[in-house]
Structure 1
Amino acid sequence: MNRPIRRRTTVRTLLATAVCVGLVSACGGTDSGDASGSPKGGGGQYPLTLTNAWDKTVVEKKPLKVATTSDGDTSIALALGLVPVITPDVEDGGPVPEYKKRGMDKLGVGKLKKYDDSDGTDYEAIAAEDPDVILGMNSWSMDADYAKLAPIAPVITYTDKKHADVLPWEDRLKTAAKALGLSEKADEVIAANRKAVTDAAAAHPELKGKRYTYSVVHPEQLTYMSYADQDPGVLEKLGLVKDEKSKKYTAKKNRISLENLDELESDLLLMTYPFGDEGLLSASELESNKLFQSLDVVKRKNFTVIPSENTLASSMAYPDALSASWVVEELAPILAKAVAGK
Structure 2
Amino acid sequence: MNRLARPTGRRGGAARALAAAAACVALVAGCSSGTDEKKTDDKPAAGAAAAAFPVSLANAWGKTEVGKKPVKVATVSDGDTDIALALGVVPVITPDAEDGGPVPEYKQRAIDKLGAGKLKTYDDSDGTDYEAVAAAEPDVILGMNTWGMDKDYAKLAPIAPVVTYSDKMHADTLTWQERLTTAAKALGLEAEAKKVIAANEKATADAAAAHPEFKGKKYTYAVVHPEQITFMSYADQDPGIFEQLGFSKTDNAKKYTADKNSVSLENLDELEADVLLMTYPFGDNGLLSADELESNKLFQSLDVVKDKHYAVVPSDGNLASALAYPDALNSSWVVEKLTPILAKAVAGK
TM-score between both structures, scaled by the size of structure 2: 0.88
Contact residue 49 and residue 59 of structure 1 kept, 8 A: yes
CA contact (8 A) 1:42 1:185 kept: no
Q: Secondary structure of 1:140's match?
A: coil
Q: Deviation digits for residues 200-255 of structure 1, max 9, x if unmatched? A: 00011111100011111111111111110011211000000000111111111111
Aligned equivalent of 2:17 = none
The 10-residue stretch of structure 1 (190-199 or 248-257) with the greater mean CA deviation from structure 2? 248-257
- C-alpha deviation, 1:307, in angstroms: 1.0
Contact 2:323 2:334 in 1 (8 A): yes
Determine which of 113, 133, 140 is the counterpart of 1:133.
140
Alpha-carbon separation, structure 2, partners of 1:73 and 1:295: 41
Which amino acid counterpart does residue 297 of structure 1 have in structure 2? V
Question: What is the match of residue 7 of structure 1?
Answer: 4
Residue-by-residue CA offset, 1:107-146 (whole Å, 9 max, x unaligned): 0122000000000000000000100000000011000000
Q: What's the CA shift string for 1:265-306, capped at 9, x where partnerless? A: 111101010011101111111011111111110000000011
Is the CA contact (8 Å cut-off) linking 1:43 and 1:182 kept in structure 2?
no
Q: Deviations over 1:307-329 (max 9, x none)?
A: 11111111111111110110111
Return the match for 1:290 from 275, 287, 297: 297
Q: Which residue identity is paired with 1:331?
A: L
- Which of these residues, 58, 65, 71, is aligned with residue 51 of structure 1? 58
Look up the equivalent residue of 1:6 and give its one-letter code.
Answer: R
Letter in 2 for 1:14: T
**Residue 89 of structure 2: aligned partner:** 82
1:200 aligns to 2:229 (yes or no): no
Cα distance in structure 1, aligned partners of 2:55 and 2:47: 12
Using the TM superposition, give the Cα deviation of residue 15 of structure 1 relative to its aligned residue in structure 2, in angstroms: 3.1
- Does the 8 Å CA contact 1:53/1:159 hold for their aligned counterparts? yes
Q: How much has 1:42 moved relative to structure 2?
A: 4.3
Q: Give the CA deviation at 1:5.
A: 7.6
Query: Distance in 2 between the 1:274 and 1:113 partners?
Result: 27
* Residue-pair matches, total: 314
Does residue 233 of structure 2 align to residue 236 of structure 1?
A: no
Tell me: CA distance 1:168–1:109, structure 2 relative to 1, closer, same or farther (3 Å).
same
User: Cα deviation per residue 1:181-202 (whole Å; 9 max; x = unaligned)?
Assistant: 0000000000000000100000
Distance in 2 separating the partners of 1:67 and 1:151: 14
The one-character-per-residue Cα deviations of 1:160-186 (angstroms, maximum 9, x if unpaired) are 111111100001000000000000000
The equivalent position to 1:72 in structure 2, one of 75, 79, 84, is 79
Q: Tell me by how many angstroms 1:43 deviates.
A: 4.3
CA spacing shift, 1:253–1:132, aligned 2, 3 Å: same
Gaps of 5+ in 2: 11-45
Q: Is the 8 A contact 2:8 2:325 kept in 1?
A: no
Q: Find the aligned partners of 1:117 and 1:63 in 2 and give their Cα distance.
A: 24
Find out whether 1:263 has 2:260 as its counterpart: no
Query: Could you tell me how far 1:7 is from its partner in structure 2?
Result: 3.1
Distance change >3 Å, CA 324–CA 262, structure 1 → 2: same
Partners of 1:222 and 1:280 within 8 A in 2: yes
> What SS does structure 2 have at the residue aligned with 1:96?
coil
Q: Take 2:245 and 2:165, find their aligned partners in 1: how far apart are those partners? A: 29
Change in 2 beyond 3 A, CA 1:168/1:202: same
Match of 2:321 in 1: 314
User: Displaced runs of 4+ in structure 1, greater than 2 A?
Assistant: 4-9, 39-44
Counterpart of 1:310 in 2: which secondary structure?
Answer: helix
Task: Give the secondary structure class of the aligned counterpart of 2:103.
Answer: coil
Change (3 A) 1:279 1:144: same
Distance 1:243 1:44 in 2: 50
Gaps of 5+ in 1: 17-38
Cα 1:138–1:298 change in 2 (3 A) is same
Higher share of residues assigned helix: 2
SS at match of 1:219: coil
Cα deviation for residue 6 of structure 1 reads 3.3
Q: CA distance change for structure 1 residues 159 and 40 in 2, over 3 Å: closer, same or farther?
A: farther
- Secondary structure in structure 2 of the residue aligned to 1:333: helix
The amino acid of 2:4's aligned partner reads R
Whether the aligned pair in 2 keeps the contact of 1:78 and 1:104 (CA below 8 Å) is: yes
Once the two structures are superposed, the pairs formed by residues 112-191 of structure 1 within 5 Å of their partners are 112-191=119-198
